[in-house]
Structure 1
């Protein structure tokens, strides 16, 4: 028998559709039922690839006695944090404020109005390690609600007020300090945190510092700072050599549980791989390192092979578990290698991949690592071993896939695949990026003929505006509205796609998304929030309008939109967009000085602003190899945050310039021509791609592979 979740479009909620728990989805029905019955809400938040979410589900939510008690004393609400990041953010802030920690599954008890009064994460079915059992917690909360209601409501009111009173930025920061001074202070801080022996920052667990790596590569490109390049290179190589990356099939796991990048938490997320694809592509662009190229290729190929949906989008994640255990799909023993490869190749592979009898993971199994490449005369043997092991692994039970399409994460994938495809000459990746963009444009984007007024009476700019749905699944759009990261990341990805394809329908859509961000996510003081003013959940708004300025696994919404606005300002000359970006960046860089690992995106945007950013207009027939050579040279440039716009002069004459950067750009001598500008002040035009590439800091064709 199924419960209400059977009608959901969320794969995570569908995992709980056959629980004996009488689950509700987040929404008015749940709140009305709690009010009618006069019982608390039990809000359980998780996501489909979450290992401990599965554990708690098997131990508690599938248990008839536990479910019966939950149904009798609570209205139970199941939330997919990836579908509703706004709900997750508010209750996670409450959980961290009351417990000093957070994580998933997140378990929150709240009044019928949604105000939390008791928070936690995973609870075991029996008391263990100083933790109460979940049944004990349920009984204690039910008793408190029935017998000490005044204490409970007072606790909820106090927590609500504490959340509302928390400052929007960090106390003690100096938002007025010069931008470049804050970048240098942040660089000094991140250097102190750098693990020079093993790569990465801090100790275990180690998460892929994708946004910090992008900043360090940009800083090196702008200043020539070799220490910044060393930190980026050491970390990128360490991740690629360890167990974080799937050495057979490509793609990165969520994080390493140790400081040596040996054993990962095995779930694979779209956002991690999109961000890392771009980081490895940019590492290759800066250095020509063959490892960078190989990892970028294998990551992109894995994304297309394992995450593409039939509709052309990209699924959210692969689970960590299969056959009831974490990592089972990925780990090996020496005996298993010999069984697949034979004695000689099995022993060779065990030594190469670090597979031992003792093992590096559970039950004597090992995570494959590649601490050194095989010898030059062993590449064919290496390729054969990988093919055979991958074929054998395909016969195992694969991890489940969360196949919902998230707009913002697909935006990250669009930008990464388009740029990597252009730089590494893989048109199939560019085609995949275009297909994802098409799905989002057709299914997730809704154009409004007339914009609604804001609560302060002001109206957005004239013309049609857009609204963006956050998720879809199997061609059906979800009910959750897009949050700031969706608008920002999709806009950024579309601008990259337009630079690669010269298809300016993507430019226009990016501009409308950013206009929507400016009018619906920003208040009069210039602060960007994670939810639109007219789509902020009223239950959450009573506590605090969601807003997280710090990077997490993905770029923070305020930082991501700052980056997209800088690019848009560089393409169009819009001072309003650039000023909005700079205003948002001031607070984010104040945070960066103290917590640079949480501000990589903002620091990368600051590098772009410090460099201009450079604006490159390429004009020529799109089917002319000379035009494509100039475009390729522009894309290969390492100038931080450089924007590229390409157009055919025939189209410009017929339809006008799609962006101001392309206006009044004639051919020189009848040949395809590039213009490099800062603030629309341009140097001499060039028809020479080598000269253009060198001027943008790129490796020349002679030195770059």
Structure 2
């Protein structure tokens, strides 16, 4: 066992018995490199990464390769999900140098942590124009020993370039209707009208863009925006990217038709998509959207829930293929003969037709990824098809399961809290609201330190990790707490969100309104990471803007709204040029343009329930909902609000102007629909 044996990250533990003498990211590793006068080999990945597993089997488990690594390098292994700051800084260098990025990421550093050679996956033998990993090791070793001054100069120039990259907004102004229209136009041009989604292969679920489009439709009535959401959500729900048996979404589709997924299932994708489908149902009443939202919520609770009440990070793409090896998708794909073995001839024929299982296969080795084929299957087949689905799910459960990365990531659990709280409230599933509450308690009790003001990035088995929280952790947990407060009326969640957002303003904000991904007292890297663009999850920058805007509406304190408006300045600048990478920022911009609307519902819990539900189901972008008993003083939005003529009441304010209170749900619905 090497130095990774004592780590909590499942990804690092996967490498604990490698013959490579791995170090975790630490000052001691770089001190060892200085002592030995050798470069640092930085390898970054994550536990459910398919090609990370491949490179590990081919190179890191190979004794001969390990001897070269141990003799000439200090090798450092990083879990990108545990240290997103380290990943972000060096991924920026990889992308600048090579024009592409991804994981596994392989970077060679000086003992001062300055990068000088970059790559991602390297094969064990030269192929497809790529050198072998051993060739790369030899080339770097030779350069370091024979041309060290040249290497040091390159590393210094790269580090200086990275350090000089920072975002300056001047006099930032939030986006207006013109910028929202330009973003919609850009998205329309990129929209794949025949297959849903945006762009070509590979195709990622555009969760944050869909959220923007739903809010834009709600504010403007744009049918084009809604149609893009409906077409994309239907295509994903019918495609192989969605698990037609057990629910839940895979990370992305390798093709443009959503047929063949990269089979790993991430918590963040499922939390974001659960919320999108729930919001689509809220806007349209679409029963398919309702089903997908609930199945995805149930998937998260069933497959990713931990004993401590949090949610694990991911399920692997690979699993035992039943023949002594590991293969991507082995748990999920089916052949015609496997269908017949489980179902018999007649039902196997139905399943093959319904789920597009062909003789030649849609995946590999004659196997097919299950898709829902028929748009309008007669209702008479519904019960039979449900029986088929249940039997296939039971048979699949007997297969070797994919491994689970069971570390609890703070930000992603914040996203799950928001999704489960809303889905539970919309569809009257108190068990989902309770799951959200339990996860929030874990975040509050295990991931939170310093009197509720600071966060840690991860925990595992109830034991907190050592990495400091980054901006997305604070922002997404605040978003989760605010959503949970809106659903439950428990004021502790509102106050906890406020404490985290105070830390954002004190530790993560620059003087000009920009935001940084790490706190001002975090570990110093060669660059303080800063990125306002959304990727697989909302950027910490945009997520913080959303939480600050909502909290400002709850409290009436201008400094939170002002910070949100300043942060949204980058959305104004980039909306027309890069709308696909600003979905969450655009969604927050829609909330700002709509007010946001402040809704206070007052009464005892049972008597105010109908008004409260009406408020939660409102599609007004970014509406914030406060609920409590008459005389509540701990929530500014509720202060001074009481019953009207002895009846529970709802108060709606917008743009610093309040309408007359209403006492009937239909009156509230009209007030929120204007």
User: What's the TM-score once normalised by structure 1's chain length?
Assistant: 0.93
Task: Indicate the residue corresponding to 2:221 in structure 1.
Answer: 224
Which of 625, 629, 634 pairs up with 1:648? 629
Q: Output aligned runs, 1:165-564, within 5 Å.
A: 165-168=164-167, 179-323=176-320, 324-372=326-374, 374-448=377-451, 466-535=453-522, 537-538=523-524, 540=525, 543-564=526-547
Aligned partners of 2:175 and 2:571 also within 8 Å: no
Structure 1 gaps of 5+ residues are: 449-464, 699-705
Between the aligned partners of 2:211 and 2:94, the Cα distance in structure 1 is 31
Between the aligned partners of 2:26 and 2:546, the Cα distance in structure 1 is 33
Between the aligned partners of 1:44 and 1:447, the Cα distance in structure 2 is 32
Aligned partners of 1:615 and 1:680 also within 8 Å: no
* Residues paired across the two proteins, number: 668
Q: Output aligned runs, 1:2-21, within 5 Å.
A: 2-21=1-20
Between the aligned partners of 1:588 and 1:146, the Cα distance in structure 2 is 47
User: 1:629 aligned to 2:632?
Assistant: no
Secondary structure of 2:450's aligned partner = strand
Tell me the alpha carbon deviations over residues 31-81 of structure 1, each in whole angstroms, 9 at most, x when there is no partner. Answer: 111111111000000000000000000000000000011001000000000
Between the aligned partners of 1:258 and 1:169, the Cα distance in structure 2 is 37
Tell me the alpha carbon deviations over residues 128-164 of structure 1, each in whole angstroms, 9 at most, x when there is no partner. Answer: 0111000000011011111110010001001011112
User: What's the TM-score once normalised by structure 2's chain length?
Assistant: 0.98
Q: Output aligned runs, 1:11-90, within 5 Å.
A: 11-90=10-89
Aligned partners of 2:173 and 2:565 also within 8 Å: no
Tell me the alpha carbon deviations over residues 214-247 of structure 1, each in whole angstroms, 9 at most, x when there is no partner. Answer: 0000000000000000111110111001101000
Deviates more, 1:225-234 or 1:687-696: 687-696
Deviates more, 1:516-525 or 1:634-643: 516-525
Aligned partners of 1:182 and 1:589 also within 8 Å: yes
Between the aligned partners of 2:633 and 2:301, the Cα distance in structure 1 is 34
Secondary structure of 2:247's aligned partner = coil
Between the aligned partners of 2:174 and 2:109, the Cα distance in structure 1 is 41
Give the direction of change, closer, same or farther, for the CA distance of 1:385–1:618 in structure 2 (3 Å limit): same
Between the aligned partners of 2:673 and 2:138, the Cα distance in structure 1 is 65
Secondary structure of 1:222's aligned partner = helix
Structure 2 gaps of 5+ residues are: 321-325
Task: Indicate the residue corresponding to 2:620 in structure 1.
Answer: 639
Aligned partners of 1:521 and 1:531 also within 8 Å: yes
Between the aligned partners of 1:118 and 1:6, the Cα distance in structure 2 is 28
Between the aligned partners of 2:497 and 2:167, the Cα distance in structure 1 is 28
Secondary structure of 1:693's aligned partner = helix
Between the aligned partners of 1:608 and 1:398, the Cα distance in structure 2 is 42
Secondary structure of 2:233's aligned partner = helix
Task: Indicate the residue corresponding to 2:659 in structure 1.
Answer: 683
Aligned partners of 2:353 and 2:373 also within 8 Å: no
Between the aligned partners of 1:585 and 1:502, the Cα distance in structure 2 is 29
Between the aligned partners of 1:177 and 1:265, the Cα distance in structure 2 is 37
Secondary structure of 1:114's aligned partner = coil
Task: Indicate the residue corresponding to 1:660 in structure 2.
Answer: 636
Aligned partners of 2:241 and 2:258 also within 8 Å: yes
Aligned partners of 2:470 and 2:517 also within 8 Å: yes
